Amino acid sequence: MTKLTFIGAGSMAEALLSGMIQKELFDKNQIWLTNRSNKQKLTELQNQYGVNISYDQKELLEHADMVILAMKPKDVVSAFDQIKPYLTDKTMIVSLLAGVSISSIEYLAEKQVPIVRAMPNTSAAIGQSATAVATNSKVSDEQLERIRNMFDTVGLTTFVEEKQIDAVTGLSGSGPAYIYYIVEAMEKSAAEIGLERELAQELIVQTLIGAAQMVSKSNKAPEQLRKEVTSPGGTTEAGINTLESYGVQEAFVNCIKEATAQSKRLGTALSEEITKSKENIASH
């Protein structure tokens, strides 16, 4: 690897950049960043991480081994107009763009190139992402290993079929928000039962960490772990009965199903929009 270029410099790009540099996966001199127009943000990232920044397309993209797409999905068509002239059959494109399919990227690239589609989540900012990765057939074993190493710097990396990406988006891509939602409810309840906010937050956070570690390290199913905490006639049973009376578990199942369905809808709409945009550009 001699050159890696980020197109887009938002929070997910920065999380990945930070992870790669902290784990010394790439030398900072190998990394280039650009964005649409926020020069101040680029300068801040350059000062913080020591990477290269530029708005010169040739300087950014010529001889790049990997191009990471981290802009807004709606900007992908205009981005490819700038990227295309510098792509070779060995340039690996890594997309962090929700809803943009591998076939759409192939369509925009107008040539056969290795393509990786990744779905990290916001916990990448603290190195705890659950990242799902799908690829096309042009990605080599060496490139696969490089991708695994790269996303491992911000958490756990799992390879999936692209058709599973929408489900991953609904489950773990949006997943942190579901947990924050639970924390919000626990904080509200803590206030109503007379616990100070700081004390409640410490207890809630440690409870979540402990429960997650139990699920991770125990060979018991979550259902069994729950039952072991739930004594007949006890406090936990009273709480669980209330959750069941409100259909909380069913609500969570439907929540993830709906998030998955929305991911599919957005992906379909975006693919149609990409095709129309490309056709409009070609007709002019």
Region of 63 on the Ramachandran plot (φ > 0 left; ψ -120 to 50 alpha; else beta): left
Cβ-based neighbour number of residue 76 at 10 Å: 24
Per-residue pLDDT, 1: 66
**What is the structure's pLDDT at 278?**
72
Same-domain status, 50 and 182: no
Retrieve residue 280's tokens. 């409009």
Is the dihedral angle over the CA atoms 33, 35, 37, 39 positive or is it negative?
A: negative
Mean pLDDT, to the nearest integer, of 112-132?
94
Average pLDDT (51-69) is 95
User: Would you say residue 66 lies in a domain?
Assistant: yes
- pLDDT at residue number 282: 67
Indicate the number of domains in the chain: 2
Looking at 187-201, 202-216, 269-283, which range is the least confident one? 269-283
Establish how many alpha carbons lie within 13 A of residue 224's alpha carbon, considering only the half-sphere containing its beta carbon. Answer: 6
Q: Report residue 274's pLDDT band, with 50, 70 and 90 as the boundaries.
A: confident
In a domain, 277, yes or no: no
Token code pair at residue 54: 């530029």
Whether residues 128 and 29 share a domain: the answer is yes
Q: Is residue 265 part of a domain?
A: no
First vs last C-alpha separation in the chain: 38
Identify whether residues 62 and 149 lie together within a single domain. Answer: yes
Residue ending a domain, among 163, 194, 227, is 163
DSSP three-state, residue 182: helix
Residues 194 and 158 placed together within one structural domain of the fold: no
pLDDT in tens, 151-192: 999 999 999 999 999 999 999 999 999 999 999 999 999 999
| Closest C-alpha among 71, 114, 45, 10 to residue 81 | 71
Provide mean pLDDT across the span 18-31. 92
Domain closes at, from 163, 187, 220? 163
Q: Do residues 148 and 180 both lie within one domain? A: no
In a domain, 145, yes or no: yes
H/E segment holding residue 135: strand 129-135
The pTM of the full predicted model, rounded to 2 decimals, is 0.89
Domain range for 60:
4-163
Q: Mean pLDDT of all residues in the chain?
A: 94
Helices (H) and strands (E) in the chain, counts: 12, 8
Q: What proportion of the chain, given as a percentage, has pLDDT over 90?
A: 88
Q: Pick the closest to residue 117 from 126, 108, 104, 128 (CA basis).
A: 104
Identify the CATH number of the domain in which residue 194 sits: 1.10.3730.10
